[in-house]
Amino acid sequence: MNNAADMAEGMKMNINSKNFRVRPGEKVNLTKWPTHVKPVYKSRKKYHKLLEEHVEELSALQRLLYASNRYALLLIFQAMDAAGKDGAIRHVMSGINPQGCQVFSFKHPSATELDHDFLWRTTACLPERGRIGIFNRSYYEEVLVVRVHPELLGWRKLPQASVTKGIWKERLDDIAGFERYLARQGTTILKFFLHVSRKEQKRRFLQRLEQPEKNWKFSPADLGERRYWDDYMAAYEDAIRRTASREAPWYVVPADNKWYTRLVVAGAIVEALWKLDLAYPGIDAARGKEIAAARRSLMREKG
């Protein structure tokens, strides 16, 4: 198979990721978006088979992306704590060649990063043409965490005139414009909000506390942020609504079932790569003669 269209014939998607894609301008009420969906698989074995098919196809598409060297793919993962971002990235991208993919995790900004504009630290990590870049959290933290805790704005030492009631809309407008710019330069952007319920987050936190091998994942700050659940949901709703676009779509992915989450994410990525109509580079007549000559030379060798 030499292009993405040929590959598409090889597998029928069992989950339609479009069902979880936010339409541009759509009002987002996260209480009406599911955190749990009835699985399409009937057993653990069937789930692994479905995921394996997705991973295999994604691996083949990545090779085409790398060889064509014309597009880049940026995947952004946002979620509340314990929603399964790390696991989704690890399982969905398990078949990817590490040479063509980089993962960046953005936590508290450093002093140097705080001395620059809020998009600066992530811009330096954008994927090159032919490669996949993954942001585990991203510049959206500046309109989520900082919006919920506005006192953090003080760390950026912004001019007082810039800190107005409209700062969040302005920042979201800046993000939307930035993403349009990247799309025009050949970067395909997919944004995933892993939508976990408060009840399921509690269960996973308890699991982290009760299983010694998971204790390292727990932070007391995680419990503190649960008090701001409604504030975070409101911030996510506004961010998703204002920045969901054709060029950089948001997917609100049910995350109470990690297996289903991974299949939705994998399906969306594969679908986006199909649309790029990727193909291996062709060769001109001169290059064809070089290849033929090299083949004849090797065939004449002994041993």
The CATH number for 214's domain is: 3.40.50.300
pLDDT at residue 245, as a whole number: 97
Under-70 pLDDT residues of the chain: 1-14, 303
- Tell me which residue of 274, 258, 243, 259 sits closest to 76, measured CA to CA: 243
Q: Residue 167 burial (CB < 10 Å; 0-12/13-18/19+)?
A: middle
pLDDT at residue 14, as a whole number: 55
pLDDT at residue 154, as a whole number: 92
Determine the Cα angle at 87 with ends 220 and 129, to 5°: 115
pLDDT at residue 303, as a whole number: 64
pLDDT at residue 219, as a whole number: 81
| Euclidean distance between CA atoms 281 and 64, whole angstroms | 9
pLDDT at residue 41, as a whole number: 82
Q: Residue 165 burial (CB < 10 Å; 0-12/13-18/19+)?
A: exposed
What domain range includes position 238?
A: 4-300
| Euclidean distance between CA atoms 299 and 253, whole angstroms | 54
pLDDT at residue 266, as a whole number: 95
Q: In the structure encoding, which two tokens stand for residue 75, read together?
A: 């995947």
| Euclidean distance between CA atoms 90 and 55, whole angstroms | 11
| Euclidean distance between CA atoms 76 and 237, whole angstroms | 16
Phi and psi at residue 76, to the nearest 5°: -115, 125
Domain count, the chain: 1
- Tell me which residue of 266, 246, 265, 275 sits closest to 64, measured CA to CA: 275
Give the tens place of pLDDT for each residue, 222-244: 888 999 999 999 999 999 999 99
DSSP string, 241-286: HHH--SSS-EEEEE-SSHHHHHHHHHHHHHHHHHHTT-BPPP--HH
